[in-house]
Amino acid sequence: MIRYMEEKDILKVVSLEKKIFKESLGEEFLYNELKLNPYQKYFIYEINDELIGYIGLRVYDKDAEVLNFLINEDYQNKGYGKKLMAFILKYLKESKVETLTLEVSVLNKKAINFYKKHKFEIINVRKNYYKNNVDAYVLKKEV
């Protein structure tokens, strides 16, 4: 089931981020996003009450940006990321959003391949974008 993220989900999301990314946006950031940011759209993917993934977006009129997108390693390569992406794209299209952008590490080949399969195109490179001075690709998709 895919649903809006709630305050009660924050600790689980932080834990999953740390497991997958080895770092997290953090409890305070996510709380502020949910409570104070009118542009945020965070969605949780659950199976049998287990959080298996989530996606965080900011939607500004006709543009949207992915802040974080992840699926628990135990559920990767089983179509769940594809389902969550399809859900988001449908949601954005219904919301009259025209473009979706995101950043991804140039080293994250698995994610890059996933996004290319979903017709994202590399439009820019952000030098030293991540803490470890790794560059990021900026990807864009017409919704």
Cβ(10)–Cβ(30) under 8 Å?
A: yes
Neighbours of 44 (CB within 10 A): 20
* Whether residue 79 is found in the same domain as residue 141: no
Write the pLDDT tens digit of every residue in 104-139. Answer: 999 999 999 999 999 999 999 999 998 889 999 999
* Whether residue 89 is found in the same domain as residue 129: no
Neighbours of 21 (CB within 10 A): 13
Domain count, the chain: 2
Please report the pLDDT score of residue 99 as a whole number: 98
Write the pLDDT tens digit of every residue in 6-33. Answer: 999 999 999 999 998 888 999 999 999 9
**What is each CA distance from 7 to 21, 44, 91, in whole angstroms?**
21, 11, 21
* Whether residue 77 is found in the same domain as residue 124: no
Share of the chain above pLDDT 90, in %: 93
- Tell me which residue range forms the domain holding 113: 100-143
Cβ(96)–Cβ(62) under 8 Å?
A: yes
Write the pLDDT tens digit of every residue in 69-100. Answer: 999 999 999 999 999 999 999 999 999 999 99
